[in-house]
Amino acid sequence: MIQVEGLTKYYGPFKAIDSLSFHADAGEIVGFLGPNGAGKTTTMRILTGYMPPSEGRATIAGFDVFEQSLQARERIGYLPETVPLYKELTVWQYVDYMAALRGMRNPNRAERVDEVLDRVEMLDRADSMISSLSKGMRQRVGLAQAIVHRPDVLILDEPTIGLDPRQVREVRELVREVGQERTVLLSTHILSEVSQLCSRILIINKGQIVAEDSPATLASRLQGTTRLSVRVGKATPKEVAKAIRGIEGIDEVIPTDEGVEVISSSQADPRSAISATIVQKSWELLEIHSVDMSLEDIFLQLTTDETMDEEEDQDA
C-alpha cells in the first residue's frame, strides 16, 4: 500500500533523509521510530505530497505521491506534527470543511462529520471554537479530519503527543481500530506505543533506517545481554563506575543518581567480580540485581552507538 524506494531529501546541503526504502502492506500498522531530527516528519511530508523528494520515489496504492499527487492524496489521511487548524471555525465547521476539500458531498458528509466527531469523543464540543480547545482536544480533532474521508492509508505524525494518559490510551485504541481496515504509518519516540500497536517497527536514525523488525524480534535481540543495577555505600556512583569499568565482560558502566548501571553481553556473569572489587575497596555493596532490558534499550543502542563510534574514531 505504501512503497518507498531510495527516498532522499536535502534541505540545502543538509541530507535529512538518506535513500530510505520500506513498505507497508494493507492492514498493517507500521511504527516509525526515531529520536528528534531523525527524519520522520520529512519522510511523512513527502509521502503526503507536501514536498517533493530530492531523489527516489514513493507510491500510495500504486500512485506516485509526486507525479500523481491528486490520486495519492485522496487515499491518504494525514495527522501532521502540528495540526494547522483554522482557529476561527468551530470544530464541526472545520471537519466539515476538510471533508469537503477531500471531495465529500452533502448530505452524507454532515452525517459522516457527526460520526467521526463521535468516534474521537468530540461531538459534545462540535460547536466550540477551535481556538478554545485544549491541545489534546485539538489533537483529536486533527485525527477526526484525517479519517473523515475514509482513506486507505493513514499517516500519523506523533498522534499521542501532548495528550493526558487517558487520552493517550483512547487515541491508541482508536488507531488500533482504524488500523484494522487501513494501512497506518505512525511516528513516535514512545517505545511502548509501537510495541503495543505495531506489527512492524522501522527505526530511523540520522535519516537512515537502522533496524526493521517486529517488536518481538527486536526484543529478542537483547537475549544474551544483561543489565545490572548496582548500589554501593561509601562511594559515589562515579567512583564506583571508575573502579569496575575495567572488569572483564563488562561492556558499559553508566553512573546514575543512585548507583551505576552495568551492561554486559558476555557469557560470564560479572556479578562476583563486581562485588569482589567493591569489597576490596572497603565500600559497602547495598544492592546488585539484574534489570530487564526493554525495547527502549535496543532503541538507545541502535541510535546512540553510532555517535559513540564516531567519537572513538576521532580520538584514535
Ligand X SMILES: Nc1ncnc2c1ncn2[C@@H]1O[C@H](COP(=O)(O)OP(=O)(O)OP(=O)(O)O)[C@@H](O)[C@H]1O
Contact positions toward ligand X, by CB under 6 A? 11, 14, 16, 34, 36-42, 81, 189
C-beta of 16 vs 91, nearer to ligand X: 16
The binder of Mg ion chosen from 17, 41, 73, 144 (CB under 5 A): 41
Closest separation between CB of residue 44 and ligand X, Å? 8
C-beta of 96 vs 158, nearer to Mg ion: 158
List strands edge to edge, sheet with 2-11: 14-24, 2-11, 55-60, 63-64
Amino acid type, 154: L
Amino acid type, 224: G
C-beta of 36 vs 282, nearer to ligand X: 36
Which range, of 38-46, 85-93, 115-123, 136-144, touches Mg ion by CB under 5 A?
A: 38-46
Which does residue 11 bind out of Mg ion, ligand X, none, counting CB within 5 to 8 angstroms by kind? Answer: ligand X
Residue 40 to residue 158: CA distance in whole angstroms? 10
Which does residue 130 bind out of Mg ion, ligand X, none, counting CB within 5 to 8 angstroms by kind? Answer: none
Neighbours of 198 (CB within 10 A): 24
Number of residues in contact with Mg ion under rule CB under 5 A: 3
Question: Could you identify the residue written with the cell 559515589?
Answer: 236
Letters for 80-109 (x = contact with Mg ion by CB under 5 A, - = none) are -x----------------------------
Residue 166 to residue 155: CA distance in whole angstroms? 22
Which range, of 5-13, 32-40, 210-218, 236-244, touches Mg ion by CB under 5 A?
A: 32-40
Q: How far is CA 245 from the centre of its chain?
A: 33
Neighbours of 14 (CB within 10 A): 8
Kind of pairing between the strands at 153-157 and 183-188: parallel
For residue 280, the surrounding DSSP H or E stretch is helix 271-280
C-beta of 91 vs 175, nearer to ligand X: 175
Which range, of 10-18, 76-84, 263-271, 286-294, touches Mg ion by CB under 5 A?
A: 76-84
Residue 95 to residue 115: CA distance in whole angstroms? 11
Which does residue 34 bind out of Mg ion, ligand X, none, counting CB within 5 to 8 angstroms by kind? Answer: ligand X
Closest separation between CB of residue 162 and ligand X, Å? 13
C-beta of 96 vs 157, nearer to ligand X: 157
Q: Examine residue 43 and tell whether it contacts Mg ion (CB under 5 A).
A: no
* HSE value, Cβ hemisphere, 13 Å, CA-based, for 205: 14
The dihedral built from the CA positions of residue 15, 17, 18 and 19, taken in this order, carries a sign that is negative
Q: Examine residue 48 and tell whether it contacts Mg ion (CB under 5 A).
A: no
Q: Which residues from 221-260 bind Mg ion, rule CB under 5 A?
A: none
3-state per-residue secondary structure call for 75-94: CEEEECCCCCCCCCCEHHHH
Residues of this chain that interact with Mg ion (CB under 5 A) are 40-41, 81
